[in-house]
Amino acid sequence: MSGGSSGANELRFDGRVAIVTGAGSNPGLGRAHARLLASRGAKVVVNDLGVGSGAKGSAYGDAGAVAAEIVAAGGEAIADQHDVAHEAGAKAIIQTAIDAWGRVDIVVNNAGSGVRASFEEMATHDIERLVRVHLMGGVWMCRAAWPHMLAAGYGRIVNTTSGAMFGLPTSTIYGAVKFGLFGMTRGLALEGAPHDIKVNAVSPGAATNALQRYDVEPDFLARYEVQYPPELVSPAVAFLAHESCPVTGGLFDVGGGNVSARLFGATTGHRNPALTIEDVRDNLDAVLDASTFSITTDPRAPIVSRANQVASALAPKPYQPG
């Protein structure tokens, strides 16, 4: 179990309870996250449904084996095999932590399944599975953990996205659900801010069992496995899960020991109160002018724009369930 740096400045998780979903694969990101958090004092629920990456012939995840590794190394962990893709399953995962340790401080939404196919050829059931696991799995896990975090006035959530959300051939649906998960990350960052609940997202690059659904040239794979082990993603995830993390609503690309921020913003654009189709055509360069680009990182301090001004003037009516 990797431990990292030591000393007075070491970031620790003593007394904290963490849940890591999709943590049973070896090699796997969830396993690496769970082991690192446990090595720094967290009590960890290792969740994995045990169905592999979604690739034919892929190795099955084993939550029990990973929990046993953590315990053998002197940490505290228990295994859970409920399914994040359903609301009842997510509630049961949270309840596993509550029953064992009476609290939940950290949720790392890492569970996933992968299907690579062009937009027109992907089967309907595979589209639905991607939505259920990656998007709704994150929704249900956050929904189940949220009341406990609100009651405690504390929480850390780290969602797993993907570079596919910015466009990747044969990964259109996968990218769409990952972008949806980031949209939830931004919204929850706003809702959680008054309660010291911080919510961030990580887009990881690592050699895991998920690579089994790709045809990879052997020499490249050998180099990638050395340069991009899952253990080089986990430090960023653990920092975002730590009580000292100052960031919320962020998206970070992490892999091979590199951490970078994916930033968002808007250009000044072009305005005409009598806007026409031709106006848009003739001023497209101004609309796309990167020199006027303004960055926003914190969803609590958005770019001042006309759209934001309108949104701030809209006070929602009381919610009435449909």
What residues are annotated to the active site? 174
Alpha-carbon distance of 102 to 107, in angstroms, equals 15
- At residue 35, φ and ψ (nearest 5 deg) are -65, -40
Q: Which residues contact 161 (CB under 8 A, 6 or more apart)?
A: 178, 179, 181, 182, 185, 201, 202, 203, 251
Within 10-118, where are the H helices? 29-39, 63-72, 87-101
Within the chain, where are the H helices? 29-39, 63-72, 87-101, 124-130, 137-152, 172-192, 218-227, 234-240, 277-282, 284-287, 306-312
Tokens of 122: 């992907």
